[in-house]
Chains A and B, each alone.
Chain A
Amino acid sequence: MKGGAAMEIWASQLFNGLSYSSFLLLIALGLAITFGLMKVMNMAHGDMIMIGAYVTYSTQLIFSSFMPQNMFDYYFLFSIPIAFVVTACIGWILEKSLIQFLYNRPLDSMLATWGVSLILQQIARTIFGAPNVAVKTPSWLDGGLQIAAVTLPYKRLFILVLVGLCLTGLYVYLYRTAAGRRMTAVTLNRQMASCLGVNTRKVDAGAFALGSGLGGVAGCALTLLGPVGPTVGTNYIIDAFMIVILGGIGNLKGTLIGAVVIGLISTFVEFGSSATIAKVVVFALIILFLQWKPFGLISTRSRALD
């Protein structure tokens, strides 16, 4: 019997770890595009998450006041594409008005996007007020799936599925469509891509919008896990950067592995100690790892660099 109990704890910890990983991945996925592929130190990515979360909150308000009661439970499904579109538009405007002048100037782009981040937070504070707001979880996400003695909450399973869909969608877009191919070509070799007739400015704006939109989707998922406030994004921006750097800049596979590794390590260390210790251990491990492999888990090197 004792062995069974230990198994249960391990199994539920493993699920918690994977669930945390999937949330981290969702946060990092957008940044993997804006920072990883486009090399923009995008400090405003956290605020795209924040905006996504507030869009979910607003959708909830609109549904509860204007829609029939029985529709309310489905607001969350609607809020995901809305959050994506809204944050993608904001990202597109940001790229056109600011970022496009700052390519190849990492320090300037970091400062500028940090400034944008502060502005966005203040706007959120002005509109929604400084206190946190709560998003009501739709009833179909309450409860959990019971497997043996382990309960898997539906919320976390939903996030797992959402991440899976985002990842698949992104993969298909990048590797199976002409638009994705253009984006890959521009990130690999901007000059050669333009010599082949690719309008690099259009591609840049599109890629930035895509990255921001994914941040918005992460914001939706965030509302399932906790309250929403104007500075909620800043809590996650460091994690997101950590994952992208650990995985290897400009590499989506690396970002996936990085998120899983960090998620599992923090969950298991946290189980044996406390949340603070877990943060310290994860940071220390990443620093050590980057001393050994400065380009991250997967570095993109090939014969072309001969």
Chain B
Amino acid sequence: MLTARGLRAGYDESMVLHDVDFCIEPGKVTGILGRNGVGKSTFLKSIIGLVPLRNGCLSWEGENITKRKPDKRARLGIGYVPQGREIFSSLTVEENLLLGLEVLKGKKRKQSIPKEIFEWFPVLKEMLHRKGGDLSGGQQQQLAIARAMIGNPKILLLDEPMEGIQPSIVQLIQEVIGIIAKEKGIGVVLVEHNVDLALECSDYIYVMDRGTMVAEGKVSEVKFEDIEQFLVV
């Protein structure tokens, strides 16, 4: 569905990613593991288009999208939930959710927020008219995932969605990730530095170190001993 070949990207003079090869399948959760600062977030940003590529090719269903801007990529069906969640803090929860509909503009636009969102995250319904900035971290995370899902993406990029969040919400988010992949057939990319969580959620994992993928494989076949050297500080 989405394939990356030989990606090289970074900020100004310093290149963060070198020669990254990557592939996302629909209906599967693909985990990306790695220590802090190895380029996981930069990699996600280069997929959505916030970080320009220096080299390499990004293709979407066979079409080259390397030069497209983020809004065009979002319209293709790439949903993005950034690490800082990036809720519009002075807009209400409802307005934040409605912005998720922007991706569908011009297509057969659904004017309303789909009900299943509130089935997954009931707290958002209660908070609908509160300011996004008033929400707690865990609630903002649910809002960010909901906002991305409203646009009916084909793949969903999640940057550490469970970081700094209480265990019950972590479990909820884990369940929703499962539903999104299994029932909706969406390809989920999950960046996570907690090894246990990543292995629990994912079907396939990539291990990243120093800006490139150093190991990959099905979760059921990966041996922890093989990837340990890249993860233990």
Contacts and interface: CB of A to CB of B under 8 A. Distances in A.
Contacts of A189: 86, 88
A192 B88 contact: yes
A199 to B, nearest CB: 5
B133 A193 contact: no
B131 to A, nearest CB: 7
Interface residues of B, number: 32
A194 interface: yes
B102 A184 contact: no
Contacts of A124: none
A301 to B, nearest CB: 9
A129 B82 CA distance: 56
B50 A303 contact: no
Given A191-B70, A195-B70, A302-B133, A182 B88 contact: no
Which applies to chain A's interface (DSSP): helix, strand, loop or mixed? helix
A198 B134 contact: no
Contacts of B50: 191, 195
B70 A188 contact: no
Nearest to B48: A195
B139 to A, nearest CB: 11
B175 interface: no
A182 B100 CA distance: 11
A300 interface: yes
Nearest to A198: B102
A181 interface: yes
A147 interface: no
Contact of A304 (B75, B89, B100): B89
27 contacts: A178-B102, A181-B91, A184-B90, A184-B95, A185-B88, A188-B89, A188-B91, A192-B82, A192-B88, A194-B69, A195-B49, A195-B70, A195-B80, A195-B82, A196-B74, A196-B99, A197-B71, A197-B103, A198-B99, A199-B71, A200-B71, A300-B90, A302-B89, A302-B131, A302-B133, A304-B87, A304-B89
